[in-house]
Amino acid sequence: MSRLVVIGSLIGDQMMTVPHLPERGGDVLAGPVEAQPGGAFNIVAAAARLGMPTVVAGRIGDGPVGDMLASALTSLGVDVLLPRATDGDSGTSIGFIEPDGERTFVTSPGVEQTITPADLASVAWRADDSVYVSGYDLLYPATGPAVAAWLTAFRPATLLVDPGPLIAEVPGDVLAAVLAATTVFSLNEREVQLLGGLDAVWPLLTRADAVIVVRAGAEGAWLHRKRQAPLHVPGHRVTVVDTTGAGDTHAGALLALLADGLPIAEALRRANVAAALAVAVRGSATAPTKEALSVALQG
């Protein structure tokens, strides 16, 4: 099996449940604050728990958040390919979870946003590598151009890009360079609209094998391929508790399942189930193990 290289933003999440979001200038009483690894750690956990060899090409901070992330990566058996920072901590995201499981974030980036061309050049890339990049990474003034420049010289066997909720703020030249190397563009329905619809996206995906996965929550996902009709892949019904990391679990699981040799439609069906299992549990990195996913697929 090929390895997964996750570029960029591992951060700490501080999550709390709220009865509703406060109005502007208002306040609301929340449940206890739960500190946990988050951001791209969710991708790492999802792929590693399904048995995919996974490494991180990102920077971990030298403070308490970085310590938490480093410990969590060690527990998963995941190596970090870049030296740990000595001049600052990893970033933090404050998250609010409403009763229906919807989550809202405010993020303060840290050292994870400082990936440079030299950092990417220091990685011993393999021809069969699978790579994950998020829109957060592309938004950062240092990391975004570094990733775009790197992809002009190297084409990963599989490159999954998840644009994230801030995709409209990513510089156009950076996005175009990255999408030209992308094989799987995975996003939700809101993000499709932010980009101007699928007709605006397809011209940027120039690889012949590129596909677009549009995640539709409980309804599953839509698979869009060039010169083929869209395929709806149904979701897996669960009681939603916390949607934090749902898209991350979906992406990490999809990468692991594709690396296992599954056809894209079947890999997408199983990734839908993995994401459903994740949202049925409170927490950020709640992706299922291979055994738990197998049980759910048989049910």
pLDDT in tens, 247-273: 999 999 999 999 999 999 999 999 999
d(Cα 104, Cα 154) in Å, to the nearest integer? 35
Structural domain boundaries in the chain = 4-298
Report the CATH superfamily, name and number, of domain 4-298.
Ribokinase (3.40.1190.20)
pLDDT at 77: 96
pLDDT greater than 90 at residue 244:
no
Residue in the block written with tokens 């440079």: 116
Question: Angle formed by the axes of helices 246-259 and 264-279, to 10°?
Answer: 150
Q: Please tell me the distance from the alpha carbon of residue 172 to that of residue 287, in angstroms, as a whole number.
A: 32
52-101 pLDDT, tens digit per residue, is 999 999 999 999 999 999 999 999 999 999 999 999 999 999 999 999 98
Burial (0-12, 13-18, 19+ Cβ within 10 Å), 123: middle
| Sign for the pseudo-dihedral over CA of 178, 179, 184, 190 | positive
